Amino acid sequence: MEQTYHVYILASGRNGTIYIGVTGNLSQRIWQHRNGEGSKFAAKYDVHRLVHAEAFADVNEAIAREKAMKKWRRDWKLELIERDNPQWLDLYEHLNG
């Protein structure tokens, strides 16, 4: 089975604080964020709603995408979320079937 890597965006709420990360285990990583183990930033600002995720087969592509997205203007990030998840639904609920 091939390893899949994800670049993901968490939000505190609609148009709220945003966190961008990369992981080799999306479900576990989001669980960590929700339990205060993901990052100090995410814990401090209550950023735990998974609003966007992109899958990659190559870890280097995933890391490059994460770095690029972190440099984007905020409105570009919001547009990306709105395009694929206009309701800002928490996608974590759909990760494990």
CA dist 79 and 12 (Å) reads 16
* pLDDT at 38 (0 to 100): 79
Which class in CATH covers the domain with range 5-94? Answer: alpha beta
Contact indicator for 96, 27 with CB cutoff of 8 Å: yes
* pLDDT at 54 (0 to 100): 97
**Residue 1 scores a pLDDT above 80:** no
Residue-wise pLDDT tens digits, 11-66? 999 999 999 999 999 999 999 999 998 789 999 999 999 999 999 999 999 999 99
* pLDDT at 97 (0 to 100): 60
Per-domain boundaries in the chain: 5-94
CA dist 42 and 58 (Å) reads 25
The burial class, CB within 10 Å (0-12 / 13-18 / 19+), for 38 is: buried
DSSP 91: G
